[in-house]
């Protein structure tokens, strides 16, 4: 009798567990949809978090580490900055500073845009951005280098106009359509000038990503 009672109780418990699992478990279709979304978003990215690359080239005032400081592990709750990159520029003798992130030669031909977020400490800070660069070497197009005044040994396919930053995070996009994206060594960089002030300038960067989506609000490039 006791054995029958135990078996009956066990059967009831198993039934309740099966029903509960069926209620909580998502359908196969929903699992498939989530998988496709994650896979699609992942596949759209060729290069992410460029601002966390540790190798950089420095030009102008940036050659003096005390004149331009970069911290890519900044935690600053007041600026909504969690592991973002903080750049502090103290203008030196040359009144201009250039930084370019360096990677091994990479083919980024599947990318259609660069997307990133930036903000100034106070608002009004001005920064130009450069992208898709290579070492000049024997490059016959070196004389057409848009950023040559700032990076004498590199050629960048893109240099934007000066962007006046806000004191809040803003999304920026740079279109890569019709650009040669093979053998890229310097995917992204920036140039700061002292302008009419000799005071310290600070701005923040995060989420620099190359993906295969079209830029909807492209930053104007220097022609």
pLDDT tens readout for residues 137-178: 745 444 445 677 899 999 999 999 999 999 999 999 999 999
Tell me if 217 sits within 8 A of 158, measured CB to CB: no
pLDDT of residue 7: 45
To the nearest whole number, what is the mean pLDDT of the chain?
80
DSSP 8-state class, residue 198: -
Give the integer Cα–Cα distance in Å for 125 and 202: 8
Consecutive 10-residue averages of pLDDT for the chain (223 residues): 49 46 35 31 84 94 95 76 89 94 96 96 94 76 63 93 94 95 96 83 95 91 69
Tell me if 187 sits within 8 A of 156, measured CB to CB: no
Tell me if 84 sits within 8 A of 125, measured CB to CB: no
Give the integer Cα–Cα distance in Å for 103 and 54: 9
Decide which of 2.60.120.260, 3.30.1330.10, 3.40.50.800, 2.40.160.10 is the CATH code for 46-211.
2.60.120.260
What lies within 8 Å, CB to CB, of 121 at 6+ separation is: 79, 167, 201, 202, 203, 204
């Amino acid at each position: 009798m006791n054995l029958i009672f135990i078996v009956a109780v066990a059967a009831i418990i198993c039934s309740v567990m099966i029903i509960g699992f069926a209620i909580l478990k998502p359908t196969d279709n929903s699992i498939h949809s989530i998988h496709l979304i994650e896979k699609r978003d992942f596949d759209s990215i060729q290069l992410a978090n460029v601002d966390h690359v540790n190798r950089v080239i420095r030009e102008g005032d940036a050659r003096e580490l005390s004149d331009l400081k970069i911290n890519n592990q900044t935690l600053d709750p007041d600026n909504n900055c969690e592991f973002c990159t903080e750049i502090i520029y103290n203008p030196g003798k040359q009144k201009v500073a250039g930084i370019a992130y360096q990677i091994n030669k990479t083919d980024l031909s599947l990318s259609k845009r660069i997307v990133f977020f930036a903000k100034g400490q106070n608002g009004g800070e001005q920064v130009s951005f450069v992208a898709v660069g290579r070492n000049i070497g024997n490059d016959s197009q070196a004389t057409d280098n848009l950023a040559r005044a700032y990076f004498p040994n590199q050629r960048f396919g893109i240099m934007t106009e000066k962007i006046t930053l806000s004191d809040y995070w803003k999304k920026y996009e740079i279109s890569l359509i019709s650009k040669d994206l093979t053998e890229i060594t310097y995917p992204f960089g920036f140039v700061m000038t002292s302008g009419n002030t000799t005071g310290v300038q600070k701005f923040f960067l995060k989420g620099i990503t190359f993906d295969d989506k079209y830029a909807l609000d492209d930053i104007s490039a220097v022609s």
